A = this chain, B = another copy of it.
Amino acid sequence: MQDTNPLPPVRTAVVLFTIQQTLKLLLVRGDLWHLPTAALGENEGLESCAKRALAEATGVEGVFLEQLYTFNDPDGAPRVIVSYYALVPYDRVNVRPGSGEWIDSAALPLVAHGQRPIVACACERLAAKLEYAPIAYQFLADQFTLGELQSVYEIIGRQPLDKRNFRRRVRASQCLLETRDTRRGGSHRPAKLYRLRDARPSI
């Protein structure tokens, strides 16, 4: 019975970003590639719905989601897609091979009808927000080096940054706590590890 179970009028879609050499986002393979989505259920808020979409597609939980924009569903029906985006460290997600894959944001495949603008909107917002909000940390593990942090900015901003100016700026922001630990990662001096001062916005 199509009539009693029509396409649901409100769905959420999630653009999940990570950084692994480059900025990547998670797409699910179907007829075409598409974003994880879910239909808004009874007694469910939009944000939980988006979290569910993400969990069902990837198993990722405890991520900080931010609402992006609400789009018309591409056909004329009175339906909408409420989009969210989220940032995760690469190694925090176990992508189940059948379900989702990390795709380089600079080389996107053909994506389901109407979802291209969602992805574009998410990329723009991410780059814009990085400039004024401390969100880069969400790409990193609990402890991280300043070099790692700097590459996040360089990858998303698509330009190299001056190391000394970058470090000064970060120090001035007072977001970071220096830990006692260091990380040795190759044939060079070990790097101090830092963590975010106030508990991370994730979870």
A residues within 8 Å of B by Cβ? Answer: 8-10, 39-46, 67, 69-72, 76-80, 82
A44 touches B78 (CB 8 A): yes
Contacts of A45 in B (CB 8 A): 72
Contacts of A69 in B (CB 8 A): 67
Contacts of A77 in B (CB 8 A): 42
Contacts of A79 in B (CB 8 A): 10
Q: Could you say which of B43, B67, B80 contacts A10, with CB atoms under 8 Å apart?
A: B80
- Contacts A9-B9, A9-B10, A69-B67 known; A46 to B76 CB distance under 8 Å? no
Q: Could you say which of B41, B43, B71, B82 contacts A80, with CB atoms under 8 Å apart?
A: B82
A76 touches B42 (CB 8 A): yes
State in angstroms the CA–CA spacing of A8 and B79 once bound together: 11
Q: Which 8 A-B pairs have the closest CB atoms?
A: A43-B76, A9-B9, A40-B78, A70-B70, A45-B72, A70-B82, A10-B80, A46-B72
- Beyond A41-B78, A80-B82, 13 additional contacts (C-beta under 8 Å) are A8-B78, A9-B9, A9-B10, A10-B78, A10-B79, A40-B80, A42-B76, A42-B77, A43-B76, A46-B70, A46-B80, A70-B70, A80-B80
